[in-house]
């Protein structure tokens, strides 16, 4: 397998690209589960554009989290494989924990908001019942 540096994606210029935890988590998980996916397949699975996928792949390669290669014997020289580096595996674990923690906080906040809405709905329901009793048609 021949490997490539991030310069193959950035035309030789190195830019610092930042990804949020949700995007990093989804890409790292997808790459770990399907290293054979093309960028087009990754884009379809993520529900994002091919350009955004390329942008995200650049960031992951530049950070040293993903290694890109193709097989020398493969007649299709455009067929790449994306592999998590040891740093990528470690980052995936850390991102997963941060992502899970954030989602649990969102879940707890949503439960509290739903409970408050239910209390408000109960009060509205009781007020409508009282009004109906006071003003029978």
pLDDT tens-place string over residues 96-131: 999 899 999 999 999 999 999 888 888 887 777 667
Identify the bridge partners of residue 68 per DSSP, sorted by sequence position: 4, 82
Distance between alpha carbon 49 and the CA centroid of its chain, in Å?
Answer: 14
Q: In whole angstroms, give the CA distance from residue 47 to residue 127.
A: 46
Q: Which helix (H) or strand (E) holds 23?
A: helix 21-33
Domains of the chain, start order: 2-98 (1.10.10.10)
pLDDT digits (tens, 9 = 90+) for 71-89: 656 665 566 788 899 999 9
Determine the average pLDDT of the residues in 22-31: 90
105 with 38: CB under 8 angstroms?
Answer: no
Angle, alpha carbons 113-115-118 (nearest 5°): 110
109, two tokens: 């906040």
- Spatial CA neighbour of 39 closest among 51, 28, 29: 51
Identify the bridge partners of residue 70 per DSSP, sorted by sequence position: 2, 80
pLDDT digits (tens, 9 = 90+) for 27-68: 999 999 998 898 999 999 999 999 999 998 888 899 899 998
Q: Is pLDDT above 60 for 14?
A: no
> Which strands form 2-4's sheet, in the order they lie side by side?
2-4, 66-70, 80-84
């Amino acid at each position: 397998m021949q490997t490539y540096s991030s310069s193959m994606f950035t035309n030789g210029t190195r830019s610092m690209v930042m990804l949020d935890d949700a995007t990093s988590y989804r890409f790292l998980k997808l790459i770990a589960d399907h290293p054979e996916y093309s960028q087009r397949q990754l884009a379809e699975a993520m529900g994002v554009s091919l350009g955004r996928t390329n942008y995200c792949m650049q960031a992951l390669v530049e950070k040293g989290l993903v290694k890109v290669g193709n097989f020398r014997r493969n007649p299709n020289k455009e067929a790449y494989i994306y592999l998590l580096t040891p740093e990528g595996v470690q980052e995936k674990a850390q991102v997963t924990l941060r992502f899970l923690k954030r989602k649990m906080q969102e879940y707890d906040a949503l439960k509290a908001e739903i409970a408050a809405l239910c209390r408000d709905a109960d009060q509205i329901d009781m007020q409508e019942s009282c009004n109906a009793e006071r003003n029978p048609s």
